[in-house]
Structure 1
């Protein structure tokens, strides 16, 4: 975001996406009063967060890391180092494959193999079509690039069971597991408990400072902790991010069912708006993708007009699609979204197609 766009956002008073404009002072206030510092990741509020997350997700151990890019590749490496195959199966839109500069291969020597199709969820048939024995299989819940879609619960259980039968480790990319719990109407530990290990993020959905946790068996988590040090992730003082997450978790988790209900109300209201399509419809988690029947230039001009004339911040520019007359945006339903009733959100979004 350039300086001009950032200044335009600063002047807005209404925000549609996520938690809206969150200032550094807001994040620092979320740290709370007098947290006990860690020393290089040991003790203090870092240990408290690890214990809390392990208990929430139903695992014996957890480790706090500064980024998901570090966390997930290291976890998968620990799994495949214990198996004859270094191949990890995942969806074509897996974050490790699309956003991490091939760190899984260049740093950890893993072979990533995309299976299935980009525009739908994984199926058991996709797994069965792979003759190569995998070392690990990764599922992302919810599938962000499909608008937060979730596989049917019984299908997920069947897929994970099949992968285990083949001797593969099963890992959950649960960056938005908090949202998936609302969508499945199941507790966090029941969902995470399907897997050998799980990763969760604290700035997505929870709205905390950066950082994440990996949960799993004590021996696996201990090895991930060693990889954290090798990769330069054991910082001298990790307590601000950990305290931010620990303080935010209870309230934000309690909000997820209401956020999901609001997402579905917005989708219902958009049903009467020409030129806007919701994916998936109805939303399965407190997020959705929106397809706008408008060119990229027109969308950007309309978004700028809303910001300058009405003080409403949406997205400064959309994501392109294969159709030049259609663009895509991701709406994460957060605290700012929930301050607007569904008809008002639909009215704002309709203006982007004008």
Structure 2
């Protein structure tokens, strides 16, 4: 464990009990012949396109590449080099200005750092933009999601202003239960959608970019220009299919468990869960404790109990507090809420 500016999405894991099957075992069980390997990537592309209700989808090695390509194509189509997104969007915070340095794009940061983008924020934009990127959920502020009516209003705003709408759906799988609508109905709001094969699906790596036929064909050209050809990426595709088969149907269950667990953690003095209650299986836990002390004692507790409740800690604006992220998935199956409560409670006693 190490203190870092990035709150990585780490599912609770334990060395004492449940361990998800090794990736190599999952692949061995699913690959029956050479034909199944050769067809893995196009099969997954068709499956994701159908699931999202889009004409086509292209696999990428990373979401970073996929989303920068999406923004590049939207900008080229409209002859406008400006794109818009939240100040804590992944593209702004973690990608070293790739959209600017590689693709020649500029950005408008929309909304407040600790809040969701609102329709009023969009109406305050006073310059032409090619595309608006909306992240569902907004991971860096605890996995918050806009109300459905607000989301529809924001996408309507893009249509009225000739702006492309793009969804950062890395965690769309986790967001869908909150809306109670199909993935296709949510994706239908947007011109283009990016989804991840790992994170909630616990795959190896990889992403898919979905949209109309012309857009996706253009995206494949840019993917190859950037060295992202996926011809040999069958292990990522098959691991992603396993996530769709086994984990996607469990997302409502994971959300319910996250809400229950958050309630348990909120009862610990010095602990606050954001948002309360969680809107996805992902949520943030804020501690009234210094981050270096939290990491030090978390390491000791993990060695003693076999639990690893989080991976990294992010410093808060207040130097005497910090936060970490929890994502509920299958790795929590054999860990009880009481065990997590006891871990975080002991951590607060030692570090707070």
1:266 has 2:264 as partner? no
**In structure 2, distance between residues paired with 1:98 and 1:27:** 30
**1:66 — aligned with what?**
61
Once the 2 structures are TM-superposed, how far is the Cα of residue 37 of structure 1 from its aligned partner? 6.0
Match of 1:339 among 306, 322, 334: 334
Q: Does 1:312 align with 2:307?
A: yes
| In 2: Cα distance, 1:85 partner to 1:174 partner | 24
Q: Distance in 2 between matches of 1:47 and 1:317?
A: 36
* TM superposition shift of 1:24: 11
- Residue 24 of structure 2 is matched in structure 1 by 28
- Equivalences for residues 123-202 of structure 1 within 5 A: 123-202=118-197
Structure 1 equivalent of residue 78 of structure 2: 83
Shift of 1:197: 0.3
**Which residue of 2 is the match for residue 11 of structure 1?**
none
TM-score (norm 2): 0.91
1:288 pairs, out of 283, 290, 306, with 283
Describe the SS at the equivalent of 1:117: coil
Change in 2 beyond 3 A, CA 1:168/1:78: same
Any idea what the Cα deviations from partners look like across 1:158-189, whole Å, max 9, x if unmatched?
00101111000000000000001012121111
Relative to the length of structure 1, the TM-score reads 0.90
Taking the aligned partners of 1:310 and 1:147, their CA distance within structure 2 comes to 27
Kindly report which structure 2 residues correspond to 1:85-124, keeping only aligned pairs within 5 A, or say none.
Answer: 85-124=80-119
Q: 5+ unaligned residues in a row in structure 1: which ranges? A: 3-15
The size of the alignment, in residue pairs, is: 338
Distance 1:202 1:17 in 2: 15
The offset of 1:343, in angstroms, is: 3.0
* Mapped partners of 1:220, 1:316: distance in 2: 37
Output the aligned Cα RMSD: 2.0
Which 5+ residue runs of structure 2 have no aligned equivalent? 3-9
* Paired position in structure 1 for 2:222: 227
Distance 1:249 1:298 in 2: 38
- Partner residue, 2:11: 17
Q: Secondary structure at the match of 1:278?
A: strand
Contact 1:17 1:337 in 2 (8 A): yes
Q: 1:46 aligns with which of 28, 41, 55?
A: 41
Distance 1:24 1:251, change over 3 A: closer
Q: Is the 8 A contact 1:318 1:327 kept in 2?
A: yes
1:200-237 CA distance string (max 9 Å, x none) = 00111000111010010000000001101100001451
Aligned equivalents of 1:143 and 1:136: distance in 2?
18
Runs of 4+ in 1 over 3 A off after TM superposition: 18-25, 35-39
Give CA deviations for 1:238-278 in whole Å, capped at 9, x if unaligned: 11111111122121101100000000001111232111100
